[in-house]
Structure 1
């Protein structure tokens, strides 16, 4: 299992431009918890899972509009890469590097 615990500088290439933030992640077996801190505020991760190098979680945001963001990514050393489903706005590339 990959070491996902810690702080990560993240960026999502959304239709509104690059959205930067900081992820704080903690794994416990196959469970993943944490939060995302960024321009939209502090959001708790829900339904987080770790399966080998595969990671997934959801975040319920309120601004700029209420929606659930869904992340599916892969961790490789000090990099997490994947995609974020932006509710009805499709998918956007997601990347994070260990802070």
Structure 2
């Protein structure tokens, strides 16, 4: 993702146990369990608190097309940043 701190790499893990989604995000600017995961069609949303220089709640919205994911992350008062990813 491209943030006010520059380009950041992250490893996102999503899984579905029955109807219950779960996931984690691991990056240099914060790691942990995803909260409020919602799946609707090709769109997935989730929240996580990132540490950045200070803790901030990040709200992700992603569209999935095949093995590619792209979307935006709202970083509180820092604004919105784009992100892309591909299935490993």
- The verdict on a shared fold, with TM-score over 0.5 as the criterion, is yes
User: Contact conserved, 1:30 with 1:51, CA < 8 A, in 2?
Assistant: no
Counterpart pick for 1:57 among 27, 46, 55: 46
Q: Give 5+ residue unaligned stretches, structure 1.
A: 1-11
- Report the equivalent of 1:79: 68
Q: Give 5+ residue unaligned stretches, structure 2.
A: none
Counterpart pick for 2:22 among 27, 33, 43: 33
- Please state which structure has a larger fraction of its residues in strand: 1
Deviation, structure 1 residue 61:
2.0
Note closer, same or farther for the CA distance 1:88–1:36 as it changes in structure 2 (3 Å cut): same
Deviation, structure 1 residue 53:
0.3
Count of aligned pairs: 88
TM-score, structure 2 length as denominator?
A: 0.90
Structure ranking higher on relative contact order (CA contacts 8 Å, 6+ apart): 1
RMSD: 1.5
Task: List, as ranges, runs of 4+ consecutive aligned residues in structure 1 with deviation greater than 6 Å.
Answer: none
User: Contact conserved, 1:30 with 1:50, CA < 8 A, in 2?
Assistant: no
- Report the equivalent of 1:6: none
User: Contact conserved, 1:36 with 1:44, CA < 8 A, in 2?
Assistant: yes
Deviation, structure 1 residue 29:
5.8
Counterpart pick for 1:68 among 57, 66, 70: 57
